[in-house]
Every structure is written in C-alpha cells, then in structure tokens.
Structure 1
Amino acid sequence: MALATILWVDDEMESLQSQKMFLENKGYVVNTLSNGFDALDYIRENLVDVVLLDESMPGITGLETLAKIKEINQQIPVVLITKNETENLMDDAIGSQISDYLIKPVNPNQVLLSLKKILDNKRLVAEKTTHAYQQQFRNLFMALNSNPDFNEWMDIYKKLVYWELEMEKSDSPEMQEVLNSQKQEANTEFFKFVSKNYASWVNPRSSEAPIMSHNLFRFKVLPHIQKGVPTFFVVIDNLRFDQWRAIQPIFAEHFRVLEEDTFYSILPTATQYCRNAIFAGLLPIDIEKQFPVQWKNDDEEGGKNLYEEEFFKAQLKRLNRQDIRYTYTKVLNHQAGTDLVNNIHNLLGNDLNVIVYNFVDMLSHARTEMEVLKELASDEMSYRSITASWFEHSPLHQALKRIADKKFNLILATDHGSVRVKTPHKVVGDKQTTTNLRYKHGRNLNYEPRDVLAFRDPREAGLPVPSVNSSFIFAREDGYLCYPNNYNHYANYYRNSFQHGGVSLEEMIVPVIKMVSKA
C-alpha cells in the first residue's frame, strides 16, 4: 500500500528521474508534470497528498500555480522548490501558505525529509508524546504519593494539564485513559489534602498557607502597580488553568508572559464567595462582619455580587493605598463589552483598571441547559476550544489589542474553576437547604460522610453562619449532590455538566498571570 500520492511539477523533470525512483522505492506514488496548467487540471480531477512545485517554469510560474492550487483545494500541502533565495520570493511563498520550501539542487533525502515532516508529522508527534508521557508517568505517580505540600500540588496540577493538552496530539485512547486515571487519582489525593489542611489555611494565625482568593490582590496585583505605567487587572469568571493555556497563544501575539502562576480559590468555589473575597481582601465571614447589609447568603434575596467595587475601595483603604487612581468595570453582556472597546484608551491614564468579565461562567451554566452547547462543549477538549474561540473574537480581546502598542502591565486571573461531574451523591435536607450541586449549606443535612468535606461549624472554613445549626458540605472530585426527590432524573440531567463549588484540582487551583505589552 502506497504511503502517499505525490504530484511533482517541474519543467526539467527528465533530470529528476533518479529522485522519482528513490521516492517510489520508499513507497510513494509519484506522478510528474512539466507545467502549472497541466498541474491544475490534474488536481481538479485527482486526489493528491502533496505537491512538489518548481518555482521557475515557463507559461505560469510556481507562485502563480500555488495561488491557483489553493483556490482549488486550500488543504493540499505544497512544497516550493526554487533556485531563488530572495527574501521577497520567500515572503510571497510563505504568505501563500506553502508547507515547506527547498533550494535547488535538492538531494533525495531532503525531499524525503520534507515529505515525512508534512505527511507523518502528526503520527510522529503522537508517538513521541505517548512515549514521553510513559516516561513521566512514574515521576507523577511518585509525586502524588510523597505527601506534597500546597506548592507541590500546584506543580502536579500544572503537569497534569500539560500532559492533557499534549495528549490532544496523540491518537492513543489507551494512553489518554491512563492519563485520565492518573488525574482521578490526583483528585482523590487532593481531596484528602484539602480536607486535612483547609481549616488551618483560613485561620488568621496560620503562617503556612497558599495565596488564596482573599489575599490575591495584596500579594499578586498590588506589588506590580506603579505610577506612570497603568496596570489592568482582568478577572475572567470561572477560567480553569487548562482554559488559560488554550487562550495563551492568542495573548502571545501582543503580550509577553512574565509569570505564569496559580493560586487557591477559597471554598465554596462559587462566584459570590470567591469574587467578593478577591475584591474585599477578606474571607466571607469577615465580609459579613464588616458589611452586614451588603453581604448576602445563598438563601437570601438579591444579587450576590453587587458590591464588589465598594468592597475593593475598602480594601485599598485598609492597605493604606487610597493614592491609587483606579476604575472598576464589569462586563456582563455584549453591549458592556462594546463600551469597553470604545473606552479602553481613556483608561490608560489610571494607575489601575479592574475589569471583571463574565463569559466562561455563562457558558458553563448555559451548557447545562442547552442541548446545542452540550454538543459543542461535550468534554474538556471541546470546552477549551470553545473558550479559545470566544476569547479570540471577544470584545475583551479587541479592547486589549487596541492598546497593545502602549506600555502597561496586565494581570489576568479568575475567581474559581469548574469540574465535569460524573458521580451523583444523595443528600437530604430541609426546605432551607441550598440548591447548588457542588456544595450545600443548611440545617439537618443528611449525607454519606465519605462523599463530602463537611464543616459543621462554618466559621472553621472562614464562612458566615447563615442560620443556627447550619453546616456546609462540599462535593469531592467529580461528585455532585442530588436530592432523593426525582433523583434519577436530576442525576442523568446534570451528569457530564461543568459545575463549581466543591473540592477538585480544576476548581481550586486557578491561574494568575502577569504579562506586559510587547511594546
């Protein structure tokens, strides 16, 4: 069986017969033509895997032929073969989407290497990725079983995300299954780790704790604010670390990443707790104490994130940084995004511009409700892809591009991540019990203790006590909490949806990225 069909177009084909025979001996089918016109007719009528195209031919040049080939079939790889090394020619050729170019005289191994690079690249990369992960598997296994601290857990999660993205290049379902199992094992161990340590992290007297939502601004944003160079602090709601990696190449066109870091979201990993904590610089229990009117518990009426700017102003005052000239912008719909694009230049005169952008969270919730989005974002890979597609065409990206030629700092972060849930757990509660799938609080909660992290006294977790005898429970790994009423319906309805509020690597270890404009 032939490896591939090659069309070689050159007006001096007689002198290249030995090259043709060499490729045929390697298993390729090689058809030859002497001019561009015949080549175009041939491509219209026949399947071709790669075109080897001489640049200097009478009648119609190689570049002209190349342009017309792409009109017929954009996907055909074309290797341009030329005597001419001028920069303009190369620019034109590359601009016309050649897959490779070779300088005459070419030797057979050069041509073979180019063909392998084009035709076998995906297979070779997949094989290399699989082999590399096999080598790394043991290292990850040992790291998981060596009692990692909170910094080592961030490193483990970054490595798992790296291999998850690398495995997209592999067509080995077996290796992907091995990686998925390792990720599940990691989440099992991470749940034990958080269960053991979380209460001490949120204890004000604790000296050993990761950077978390409530001290993110103080440690990761404030040190970078300087007079004369504006800082943009952009919070994209519900952005996982793997989704950051998916949009990172789009940022790279205009921005240089100086620091790619992560921090820990507080529990529950839900917007009203995490984002308020970021802007207040306080744990929820302390926000409620200092702002009893503005703080709303889950079961109370009214918007839960209406006072972020007020909380932020108070945080600056507490940090003795009222000298910072700042703006606060929240983008909840497309019109607000358009307004941001039109106003972005006016923000350059401030020391700090806070932008809260709500899209990924909307995508997560809409995906649960809409069948079409269940198809579009059916798993982690497509969830990343749809996030990247959104960001590339978003008003946020357009706004940042508009000022990319100016000097400024950009810090990108999020409030929490999300996890694809697969394992339903039964929970019984009274009428006041909250409806969230990854966490619940209420009185008289009845649950299987091994399924959740429970705080009978919410204050131990840095949380307000909504009512007397109220406790909090957080789902572990890929679990979700359903009531016995109509249990099977809800278990099936929410299975494989992306949820947040509980304890998982994906929800709790989230990105904070320091960038500067390339200008």
Structure 2
Amino acid sequence: MNQINILWVDDEIDSLKSQIIFLENKGYKVSALTNGYDALEFLKDNIVDVVLLDESMPGITGLETLARIRENNQQVPVVMITKNEAENVMDEAIGSQITDYLIKPVNPNQVLLSLKKIIDNKRLVAEKTTTAYQQQFRTLFMALNDNPNHAEWADIYKKLVYWEMEMSKSDSPEMLEVLHSQKAEANTEFAKFIARHYSSWMQPKNEDAPVMSHTLFRDKIVPYMDPSVPNFFILIDNLRYDQWKTIQPIFAESFRLMEEDTFYSILPTSTQYSRNAIFAGMLPAEIEAKFPEEWKNDDEQGGKNLYEESFFAAQLQRLKMDSRFSYTKVINHADGQHLVNNMHNMLDYPLNVIVYNFVDMLSHARTEMEVLKELAGDEVSYRSITASWFEHSHLHQALRKVADRKINLIIATDHGSVRVKTPVKVIGDKQTTTNLRYKHGRNLNYDPKEVLAFRDPRDAGLPKPNVNSSYIFAREDGYLCYPNNYNYFVNYYRNTFQHGGISMEEMIVPVARMVSK
C-alpha cells in the first residue's frame, strides 16, 4: 500500500507529538500545522489523503477552514476534532460534509480507527466480505443439492443477491467470478425444479403452490391493506429483486418497511401474461375464457395490457371488496407529471393502483440503444441506473408529496429479467412468435434439453390459440434464435436483459409493504 499522507491542523500541535509518532510508526506520513491559513496554503501545493482539523483555533476556526477547503476540494476526507460538544457545532460540521467527528481528548487508537474507516474501509470490507462468502459457499452449495422447495428456492436466491451486491462493493473479481458460477449452477437446478413442479402449481387449490401472479392480490396484498387509511398498490414493471433492494433505501427515507417477501411470476414471465394475471386474479387461460374480447394472444393485433383496470374491478367484485379505487398507468413523462399533480386527490380513495413502466422500457431500450448498453452493461450498472432513475422519478416525487400523511404502501412487480448469454436454435413457421425467452406456435422444432416445453398450453394455465399450439421457454441465460440470420441475432442480443423465460431473476420477484414514518 502506498504511504498515506495526513495533514493534522491544531493550534496545540506540540501536545500531540506522541500521537503523531504513534501514527508514523503505523506507516502514515503526518504533516503538522497550527492554523487554518497555513493549512489552506499547504493544501494548494500538496496532495493529502486525510485532514485532521481542530475546531477551535485562533485566526480562522476549524469550521471556517473546512468551508474554504470544500470550495476547492470536495473529495478530501476531513475529520473534525473539537472540545465543543454543542449540537449546533456538530450539525454545522456535518452539514459541511465532514467525514468523521471526534471529541477531545482523543487517544491514538481513536484517531487510528477513524483513519482506517476512511482509508482502509474498502479493503477491509472486501476482505471481510470475501471471507464471509467463502464460509457461506458450502452452505449454499448444500442447500442447492438438498431438493429445496419453492420457499427455500426464494431464500437461496435472496442470499445470492445479497452476496452479489456485497461483492460489488469490494474489489474481489476472483470471488465474484466464483459467485457468478454458483449463481449459474443455481439457475440450472432452478430450471429443473420448475420443470418438475410448474404444471402441478397450475392445478386449482394446490396447497403446495407458491404465491404466484394470479394469487398475489388475494394472498399478499389484501391481507396487507389497512381499511382505516388510503392504500397505494404500486406495480413497477420488470423490477428484479436486486433492483428492489437497490431502491429500497430511497423509499426508506420517507417510509418504514413493515414486511418484505417474494412471490413467483407465472410463465411466460412477460407483461401481458403476468401483469394481466395479477390484476385479473386469474391464469391467462381463465382470463381468455371469461374475457374473450379483451384477451389478446401474442400473434393478435392490439395492445396486450389495455384492460387491467376492468380486470381488477372484476377481481374486487369477486373478492367482495370495496369497489372504489383509482387506477393510474405511467408510460411517459406527461403521465408522470399527471401522477405528481393528482397525488393528493388519490387520498380520497381507499385503494389506489399505480402501474409504473420505466424499468421495462429501460430493459427494452438497452437492447436497442448502444449508449444504454454501455451505461447498463452488467448487473451492477443495471442496478445503479435503476436507483438513479427512481431517485429522480415522478414516482418518487409523487410519493414524497404524501409521505407526511398516514398511508399504506404496497410495492410489487410483475416479473424480472435476466442477462442472456447462451443462444438456443429454434425452428418455427411464420406464425411462431418472436419473443426471445419464450415462443408459441404450431410447428416448433427445438432441442428438448435446452427448453421447457408445454405441448398442451393448458398444462401451464395458458390459452391455446390453435389446435396444435405449444409453448417453449428458455432456461437459465438462454435466448431463442431462428436459423435465418442466426449469427447476426446471436451477437445483437447477447448480454441484453430479457424476460419471458425461466430463471430466478425473472420468476422470484419482490412484494413489500411500507407505511408512513
């Protein structure tokens, strides 16, 4: 490690000689000055890693010196050291972006600990994270090979997401590669698990089935609702569990998390199937039977999610619930501004449904636009761009407008997405659908080892557009490509985020309840 340069500014610097020697013996280089003016001159010509700054000094105070430092250098860490414990002094120091705050008299180990937190934090966190994951690796490996049920699969996925997000904070590419290999192995086993159990989950009143799209509202939202306050059910389209964990701290600035869980998206893990199922409280085959005019199959003309509001009204009626609700769908900037302007009016309704479409649009736009491929090139940057969007979104702005009112907030999604890497060759006729993670058609030709196939769509709770229609779903990180222009499409879609198929990222998705603080 390169030597760390410390600037210690204190008008009683002579009394700190023993502490300076202590730090120098630990490998730090310490420059000592007695006033703020000299410190500012020193910083013009010298690179410093940390400034230790006394608050009470003649000439200009530590706070005044700090303000001058920040005018020229926003990055250098500053530790304020003071005898003054007054709250207003602490508040002003913190507001001026100090890195740490120590009360005199300080002992050498206090200063050393502060320096380690500032300078060695990333390295220490990386070492601790790597060691902790190494200890967990075997536990996760055993869990994967212990025939997990759907609840245990959700727990495995949450743990893998946790470690992926922790690893992304540290500089440990070797261990991150090990984690990605374990996650890929988990997705292989997960696809086998879905292949064994999915058809049985589609059977009515199967008590072993997880909460899924069509039972989400009944099982995970109705019990959360508070009849004494306005309830907001916010569905953020295509929000993976790791993306939820990324934006959760922003929600937490205004709302208190009461409960967090996951549920399973139905297949295909795409908006027209999973979201319609959520609002109708039915499987797609049931929706088609009950609403034949409104349901649209992939190969039919017209919008596929135009009737969510009427599907939802019918579900409320079927559940014998209060039928008064507002429904708002945000798919562009104007819709977002309307949401912000109308937020207070929603407080008059017992239930407000908000469908927000940005993350899904980001996923699709990333496929088409080179600049977004660069900005969201992997899971880490995809999470980062999601957090940046939410922090500056109309949705966040709208929620902050009512954060001071007593409300009940339920956040969910319809499906997730997975970064595809492995092309799978499929042959179909002209009527075969174009989706990359699932296809349905009459004459599909494929390798059965590479997909999950339902020759009778009704086994998967899906409509059967034609007598010979069947569905196939890509597993793990596969994506389905036709032989025509095969190499072009393989290269064009590799490493894009897609949905519709079978992976933990697409199927195990978040639902959470929050209340006003």
Q: TM-score, normalised by structure 2?
A: 0.99
For 2:105 and 2:331, the matched residues in 1 are separated by: 60
The residue identity in structure 1 corresponding to 2:151 is: N
1:156 aligns with 2:156: yes
> In structure 2, how many angstroms separate the alpha carbons of the residues matched to 1:197 and 1:128?
38
1:142 is aligned with what amino acid? M
Are the counterparts in 2 of residues 241 and 506 from structure 1 also a CA contact under 8 Å? yes
In structure 1, distance between residues paired with 2:292 and 2:66: 69
Q: 1:491 to 1:2 in 2, by over 3 A?
A: closer
Runs of 4+ in structure 1 deviating by more than 3 angstroms, as ranges, are none
Conservation of the 8 A alpha-carbon contact between 1:324 and 1:351: no
Q: Which residue of 1 aligns with 2:283?
A: 283
> In structure 2, what is the equivalent of residue 204 of structure 1?
204
Q: Does 1:366 align with 2:353?
A: no
- Distance in 2, Cα, partners of 1:290 & 1:103: 70
* Aligned pairs (5 A) from 1:236-275: 236-275=236-275
Q: Please tell me whether residue 133 in structure 1 is matched to residue 133 in structure 2.
A: yes
1:250 is displaced (CA, Å) by 0.1
In the alignment, does 2:388 pair up with 1:389? Answer: yes
In structure 1, the partner of 2:224 is 224
Could you list the per-position Cα deviations for residues 178-228 of structure 1 after superposition, in whole angstroms to 9, with x for gaps in the alignment? 100110010000000000000000111422100000011111111233433
SS across alignment from 2:148? coil
Rounded to whole Å, the distance in 2 between the matches of 1:437 and 1:24 is 60
CA distance in 2, matches of 1:123, 1:66: 27
Q: 17-26 or 209-218, which moves further after superposition?
A: 17-26
Aligned to 1:375: 374
Q: Which structure 1 residue ranges, 5 or more long, are not aligned?
A: none
CA distance in 2 between counterparts of 1:228 and 1:430 reads 55
> What secondary structure is seen at the aligned counterpart in 2 of 1:198?
helix
Matched, 1:352 2:358: no
- Tell me the secondary structure at the aligned position of residue 105 of structure 2: coil
Residues 1:295 and 2:298 aligned together: no
Aligned to 2:471: 472
Conserved 8 A contact 2:317-2:323: no
Q: 1:405-420 residue pairs with structure 2 within 5 A?
A: 405-420=404-419
Q: 1:82 to 1:446 in 2, by over 3 A?
A: same
Aligned equivalent of 2:428:
429
Q: Aligned partners of 1:107 and 1:267: how far apart in 2?
A: 61
Once the two structures are superposed, residues 296-332 of structure 1 have per-residue CA deviations (whole angstroms, 9 ceiling, x without a partner) of: 00000000000101111111111122x2421111111
Give the Cα separation in 2 of the matches to 1:110 and 1:352: 52
Contact 2:226 2:408 in 1 (8 A): no
Query: Contact 1:285–1:459 at 8 Å: present in 2 too?
Result: yes
CA distance in 2, matches of 1:102, 1:211: 50
**How many pairs does the alignment contain?**
517
| AA at the equivalent of 2:230 | P
How much is the aligned-residue C-alpha RMSD, in angstroms? 0.9
Alignment of 1:81-100 (within 5 A): 81-100=81-100
Q: Deviations over 1:219-278 (max 9, x none)?
A: 111123343311100000000000000000000001111111000000000000001000
Aligned to 2:398: 399
CA distance in structure 1 between the partners assigned to 2:361 and 2:257 by the alignment: 27
Separation in 2 of the partners of 1:223 and 1:120?
46
SS of the residue aligned with 1:293? coil
SS state at 2:501 partner: coil
DSSP 3-state at the match of 2:449: helix
Aligned equivalent of 1:73: 73
**Identical aligned pairs, as a percentage?**
75
Q: What residue in structure 1 maps to residue 505 of structure 2? A: 506
Task: Look up the equivalent residue of 1:246 and give its one-letter code.
Answer: T
* Matched-pair contact (CA < 8 Å) for 1:237–1:358: yes
**Equivalent position SS for 1:251:** helix
Moved more, 10-19 or 46-55: 10-19
1:309 equivalent in structure 2? 309
**2:10–2:34 Cα contact (<8 Å) kept:** yes
- The worse-fitting range, judged by mean Cα deviation, of 391-400 and 80-89 is 80-89
Q: Which amino acid aligns with 2:93?
A: A
Letter in 2 for 1:281: G
In 2, distance between residues paired with 1:2 and 1:153? 45
* SS at 1:200 equivalent: helix
Structure 1 distance, partners of 2:114, 2:293, is 68
Greater shift, 15-24 or 422-431, is seen at: 15-24
| Cα deviation digits, residues 52-90 of structure 1 (max 9, x gap) | 111111110000001111111111011111111111111
Distance 1:208 1:124 in 2: 44
Look up the equivalent residue of 1:490 and give its one-letter code.
F
Contact 2:420 2:497 in 1 (8 A): yes
Could you tell me the TM-score, scaled by structure 1's length?
0.98
Question: Which consecutive unaligned segments of at least 5 residues does structure 2 have?
Answer: none
Moved more, 179-188 or 224-233: 224-233
For 2:264, the aligned partner's letter is Y
Please give the alpha-carbon distance, in whole angstroms, between the structure 2 residues aligned to 1:309 and 1:218.
16
Displacement of 1:2 in angstroms is 5.1
Look up the equivalent residue of 2:8 and give its one-letter code: W
Where 1:165 maps in the other structure, the secondary structure is: helix
User: Matched residues in 2 for 1:205 and 1:24: separation?
Assistant: 71
Equivalent-residue separation in structure 2 for 1:300 and 1:7 (angstroms): 70
